């Protein structure tokens, strides 16, 4: 491509539309890209809707050449990242570009803004927080991502590394045929747990959804607190996440483990929404909403994903933690196969050095199907 590149801040409703809509141009010939719901992306970058902006600030830019949008990027500073990761850590994300020259200009613009905010290191791509879509896809381009995971062009890796970035962490997702039974040693562990009167595995109750969501996310904040990149969800974010998740929650696919009546572990399994929305082209109106409501009425996807799982920190490292985790997995597996005729499950993302979760994820027959990389660069 030729011509000068102009980078300018997103400043109007038309700019926000151009920012969101660029993805349709970037991936129009990619059969593995699933168009996101435009309203969801607009909500992510809107300070009036996304409670992340209660503790973070972000700037968004468009790259133009000859009056045509050819790239986009965000840069963000999160107060909670400064506390829970390291002071001076900024992030960038929402990154898309049509060519390497545009990519370099966008990344440089994001870095300049972060330096102006007093940041001394950048992590990216993270869009917009670790709880949204973290990392760049570097392996698994030939398969559509499941719900809440990203898809990127293979060239992005080269362009980001050319800007001086190196690996901070890799995140994995694992895919497996869930018709496969547990190996005998794990099966014995599960049966022992099922015979233990102190342990109860129950389905969530959507009639008490707010209460159930608070229980799950309280366990999550505790269980994940020592993980690299962890930033706790605020009460406002918990409520926001619950509102978005409620329509896709199937009661017998989300389970809470109790020991002596106290909730200590959970696992969320969700139908692959990407299967449901792929033909909507990101539009809920005029007819997409009716289609989606009908599809949500019953579990009719061929794949499910486990995006979140956790065991309270007080139990981690012991036999009980493994027992509860495998009980949650097995009881959900039975429902998926026997009731919903689902054969494929995805687990993750999992940090490459989270040995506890890696050992659980590496079930018989499970393989890494996607690798996402978070990059870092010191200024």
List, for residues 233-289, the tens digit of each pLDDT value: 998 998 888 888 888 889 999 999 999 999 999 999 999 988 888 878 887 665 555
Under DSSP, is residue 109 helix (H, G, I), strand (E, B) or coil? Answer: helix
Alpha-carbon dihedral sign for residues 93, 94, 100, 104 = negative
DSSP 98: S
Q: What mean pLDDT is predicted for residues 6-34? A: 97
DSSP 34: -
Distance, CA of 330 to CA of 336 (rounded, Å):
10
Q: What is the largest CA-CA distance in the chain?
A: 71
Residue 197 has φ and ψ, to the nearest 5°, of -65, -15
pLDDT of residue 107: 98
pLDDT of residue 288: 59
Q: What mean pLDDT is predicted for residues 71-79? A: 98
Report the length, in residues, of the chain: 379
The H or E element containing residue 168 is strand 166-177
Distance, CA of 29 to CA of 104 (rounded, Å):
23
Distance, CA of 315 to CA of 54 (rounded, Å):
32
- Residue intervals of the chain classified under CATH 3.40.630.30 are 5-169, 176-371
List, for residues 80-114, the tens digit of each pLDDT value: 999 999 999 999 999 999 999 999 999 999 999 99
pLDDT of residue 292: 66
Residue 352 has φ and ψ, to the nearest 5°, of -60, -30
Q: What mean pLDDT is predicted for residues 347-376? A: 89
Residue 297 has φ and ψ, to the nearest 5°, of -65, -30
List, for residues 190-247, the tens digit of each pLDDT value: 999 999 999 999 999 999 998 998 899 899 999 999 899 999 999 899 888 888 888 8
Please identify, in words, the CATH class of the domain defined by 5-169: alpha beta
Q: Which residues pair with 136 in a beta bridge?
A: 373
Distance, CA of 243 to CA of 213 (rounded, Å):
10
Q: What mean pLDDT is predicted for residues 59-87? A: 97
The number of beta carbons lying within 10 Å of the beta carbon of residue 233 is 20
Band (2; pLDDT cuts 50, 70, 90): low
Distance, CA of 202 to CA of 223 (rounded, Å):
19
> Which string of b and e fits 330-353 if b means at least 16 CB within 10 Å?
bbbbebbbeebebebbbbbbbbbe
Pick the CATH number of 176-371 from 3.20.20.70, 3.40.630.30, 3.40.50.300, 3.50.50.100: 3.40.630.30
Q: Is the pLDDT of residue 36 over 60?
A: yes
Q: Token pair for residue 77?
A: 């500073």
Contact 189, 328 (CB under 8 A): no
List, for residues 289-339, the tens digit of each pLDDT value: 566 666 666 777 889 999 999 999 999 988 899 999 999 999 999 999 999
Rounded to the nearest 10 degrees, how much is the dihedral formed by the CA atoms of 201, 316, 361, 152? 110
DSSP 375: E
Q: Is the pLDDT of residue 137 over 80?
A: yes
Mean per-residue pLDDT over the chain, rounded: 92
pLDDT of residue 215: 93
pLDDT of residue 275: 86
pLDDT of residue 44: 95
């Amino acid at each position: 491509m030729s011509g000068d590149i102009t980078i300018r801040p997103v400043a109007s409703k038309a700019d926000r539309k151009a920012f969101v809509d660029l993805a349709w141009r970037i991936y129009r010939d990619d059969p593995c890209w699933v168009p996101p719901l435009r309203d969801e992306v607009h909500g992510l970058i809107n300070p009036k809707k996304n409670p992340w902006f209660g503790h973070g600030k972000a700037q968004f830019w468009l790259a133009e050449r000859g009056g045509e949008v050819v790239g986009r990027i965000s840069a963000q500073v999160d107060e909670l990242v400064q506390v829970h990761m390291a002071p001076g850590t900024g992030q960038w994300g929402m990154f898309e570009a049509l060519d390497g020259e545009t990519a370099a200009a966008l990344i440089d613009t994001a870095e300049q803004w972060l330096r102006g905010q007093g940041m001394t290191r950048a992590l990216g791509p993270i869009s917009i927080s670790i709880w949204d879509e973290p990392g760049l896809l570097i392996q698994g381009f030939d398969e559509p991502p499941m719900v809440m995971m990203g898809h990127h062009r293979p060239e992005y890796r080269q362009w980001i590394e050319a800007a001086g970035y190196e690996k901070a962490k890799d995140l994995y997702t694992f895919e497996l045929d869930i018709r496969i039974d547990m190996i005998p040693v794990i099966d014995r562990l599960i049966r022992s747990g099922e015979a233990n009167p102190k342990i109860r595995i129950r389905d969530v109750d959507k009639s008490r959804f707010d209460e159930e969501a608070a229980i799950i996310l309280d366990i999550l904040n505790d269980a994940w607190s020592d993980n690299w990149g962890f930033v706790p969800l605020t009460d406002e974010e918990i409520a926001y996440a619950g509102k978005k998740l409620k329509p896709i929650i199937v009661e017998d696919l989300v389970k809470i483990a109790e020991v002596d009546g106290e909730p200590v572990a959970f696992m969320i399994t969700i139908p692959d929404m990407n299967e449901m929305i792929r033909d909507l082209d990101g539009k809920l109106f005029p007819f997409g909403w009716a289609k989606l409501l009908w599809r949500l009425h019953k579990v009719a996807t061929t794949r499910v994903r486990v995006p979140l799982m956790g065991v309270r920190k007080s139990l981690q490292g012991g036999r009980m933690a493994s027992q509860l985790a495998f009980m949650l997995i097995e009881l959900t597996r039975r429902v998926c196969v026997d009731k919903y005729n689902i054969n494929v499950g995805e687990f993750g993302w999992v940090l490459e050095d989270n040995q506890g979760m890696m050992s659980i994820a590496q079930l018989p027959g499970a393989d890494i199907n996607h690798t996402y990389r978070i990059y870092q660069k010191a200024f």
